[in-house]
Structure 1
Amino acid sequence: MNKGQISNTLRQYRLLYPLDKLRYLVERNKNKKLNEKFKKDNPEISLPPDYLMYESFQIDYSKYYFGGKTTAEWIFKLLGKHINLSGGKILDWGCGPGRLIRHMPDISNDQSSFYGTDYNKESIQWCKNNIQKVTFNHNNLEAILPYEDNTFDAIYGISIFTHLSKEMHFNWFNELKRVLKTGGVILITTQGENFRPKLTGEERKKFDQGELIVKGNVKEGHRTYSAFHPDPFLKLVFEDVDILDKIVISPKNKGYLPQDRWILKKKALV
């Protein structure tokens, strides 16, 4: 039995939620000393509650904060290759408890305006209470954002498509296009070929035929709800935007599988 088969069996018997909760407790205990040291060394840094951090990333304070800053830097640099961000409005779609967006104002030298949105009310409330220079809004799982048409110059969604159903891929991408300005740029990360080993043999056949693979039987949007993205499927989702770049990074070790990075540009209406 490979990992894909084990995952499917756990989903079938509704065991994934309790096991994920157990994993959270194990990870919290494993990282307890390191996290306590981080808090002692960095008392000025506000941190979200442990489960909010775990649900959106890892329960590792240093990786959340310093790793988040490193990721935010490459996101800003990558977007900046394709559009001038100075004076622009930038949206973190699926911001969670602010791992990335909290660093963006400093990275931009306060030259851009930043917004964060997420379907987790607790994460958004924590962000509102603890992160400055960013406007936060709550959204539901349904593809509706509280912004006017053509609001943003750039949008990024890091590991958000990875937790959505087939229908929601199309619905949400249409909504992102609505709030993006003409000529604006979107960065989306997806689980491509690097994640193929996580699939069963039958799932791999469908993946190779261009079919989106969704491992569900849990709440859509939750960290345990997982979607795997072959290129032909994504090109259908992205059919009316320009694909500026697709970046694939080879795994350096078994413990980390890099997601594909898609850079997309909204076309002018003909």
Structure 2
Amino acid sequence: MVKTLFSNFLRKIRLIYFADLIRFYIVKNKQRKKNILFSKQNPNFLLPPSYLIYESFNLDYENYYRSGKHDAEEIIKIVSRHETLDTTKILDWGCGPGRIIRHFPALLPTSEFYGTDYNKKTIDWCSANLPNINFNKNLLSPELPYQNDYFDLIYGISIFTHLSLEMHYGWFEELYRITKPGGILYITSQGDNFRHKLSVSELQDYENDTLVIRDNVKEGHRTFTTFHPPKFMRNLFERMEILEHIITKPPQGENWIPQDKWVLRKRIKNS
């Protein structure tokens, strides 16, 4: 609770971004030896610039590799319970520096892959270093260059967690537009597992099914944080069929909190 109050104070006086930048250099120094060792042991594994990794995940090279591969395999496993993914079009919405999407071509060699992100530096790096994936830089506003009903699967890992209320509605409509009828949308959110991170006033809003938004910083950045009451998300997704809402219990002894996973299907008209 003390950490939450201090963080909210820094946010109020608009110093949260600078505090996070200082944290980046502290983490970079702390992880230096471990990351150098990983690079030496895996010379053929291309790594993005350090800040791009930190901004989208955490600055641990081995974890960037292992968690990306694990998450790609998990997405395929979960979605395959509802839909075959052979010869499909798949979009990583908010792909960051390719942590997850880079593993998909080897796992689903007959499918087509796309990645989009609002960060130009991360898209430039992905385009130059990750083959067999079509990358696109999007804006923060909900507008993508893809045709209606284009993708069989769209996944967004911890993207709604950095968006405002307005952008929740706008981006859901855009994702709905480009998902094929019968296609799958796979989204994560910060649900009940994160209740202990909320202040008293934030928890009251959360229990009233209101988005809890910590802003006063650039929207979309890692320090812009949103928490999602499940009822709010169900209302947001009402145009789609909710196939699964997966809540994973936080593992003991680990500094990691699982986000909720939402598996949605775009309804086929007249079905």
TM-score w.r.t. length of structure 2: 0.97
Specify the alignment match of 2:174 in structure 1: 175
* SS, match of residue 92 in structure 1: strand
Cα distance, 1:81 vs structure 2: 1.4
Specify the alignment match of 2:144 in structure 1: 145
Specify the alignment match of 1:19 in structure 2: 19
8 Å CA contact retained: 1:2, 1:200:
no
Specify the alignment match of 2:191 in structure 1: 192
Superimposed CA distance per residue, residues 207-250 of structure 1 (whole angstroms, 9 cap, x where no aligned partner): 01111100000000000000000011111110111000000011
Cα distance in structure 2, aligned partners of 1:231 and 1:124: 32
Cα distance, 1:252 vs structure 2: 1.3
8 Å CA contact retained: 1:163, 1:227:
yes
Cα distance in structure 2, aligned partners of 1:128 and 1:238: 32
Specify the alignment match of 2:229 in structure 1: 230
Cα distance in structure 1, aligned partners of 2:19 and 2:124: 27
Superimposed CA distance per residue, residues 179-233 of structure 1 (whole angstroms, 9 cap, x where no aligned partner): 0000000110000001111111111011011111000000000000000000111
Specify the alignment match of 1:157 in structure 2: 156
Specify the alignment match of 1:250 in structure 2: 249
Q: Residue 133 of structure 2 aligns to which amino acid in structure 1? A: V
Cα distance, 1:154 vs structure 2: 0.4
Cα distance, 1:3 vs structure 2: 3.0
Cα distance, 1:4 vs structure 2: 2.7
Specify the alignment match of 2:28 in structure 1: 28
Cα distance in structure 2, aligned partners of 1:90 and 1:121: 21
Cα distance in structure 2, aligned partners of 1:66 and 1:203: 34
Superimposed CA distance per residue, residues 58-109 of structure 1 (whole angstroms, 9 cap, x where no aligned partner): 111111112211111111111111111101000000000000000001011x
Specify the alignment match of 1:84 in structure 2: 84
Q: Residue 171 of structure 1 aligns to which amino acid in structure 2? A: G
Q: Residue 80 of structure 2 aligns to which amino acid in structure 1? A: G
Q: Residue 214 of structure 1 aligns to which amino acid in structure 2? A: I
Cα distance, 1:269 vs structure 2: 2.9
Cα distance in structure 2, aligned partners of 1:49 and 1:84: 35
Quick check: 68-77 or 241-250, which moved more? 68-77
Cα distance in structure 2, aligned partners of 1:187 and 1:259: 12
8 Å CA contact retained: 1:57, 1:64:
yes
Map of 1:20-169 to 2, 5 A cutoff?
A: 20-108=20-108, 110-169=109-168
Specify the alignment match of 2:9 in structure 1: 9
Specify the alignment match of 1:208 in structure 2: 207
Cα distance in structure 1, aligned partners of 2:207 and 2:6: 21
Cα distance in structure 1, aligned partners of 2:145 and 2:225: 26
TM-score w.r.t. length of structure 1: 0.97
5+ long unaligned stretches in structure 2: none
Specify the alignment match of 2:218 in structure 1: 219
Task: Number of aligned residue pairs: give it.
Answer: 269
8 Å CA contact retained: 1:5, 1:199:
no
Q: Residue 195 of structure 1 aligns to which amino acid in structure 2? A: F
- Aligned CA RMSD, in angstroms, stands at 1.0
Cα distance in structure 2, aligned partners of 1:242 and 1:141: 26
Task: List 4+ stretches of structure 1 deviating above 6 A.
Answer: none
Cα distance, 1:124 vs structure 2: 0.5
Cα distance, 1:129 vs structure 2: 0.3
5+ long unaligned stretches in structure 1: none
Cα distance, 1:51 vs structure 2: 0.4
* SS, match of residue 205 in structure 1: helix
Cα distance in structure 1, aligned partners of 2:168 and 2:19: 27
Cα distance, 1:5 vs structure 2: 1.9
Cα distance in structure 2, aligned partners of 1:225 and 1:88: 33
* SS, match of residue 187 in structure 1: strand
Cα distance in structure 1, aligned partners of 2:157 and 2:25: 25
Cα distance in structure 2, aligned partners of 1:175 and 1:2: 38
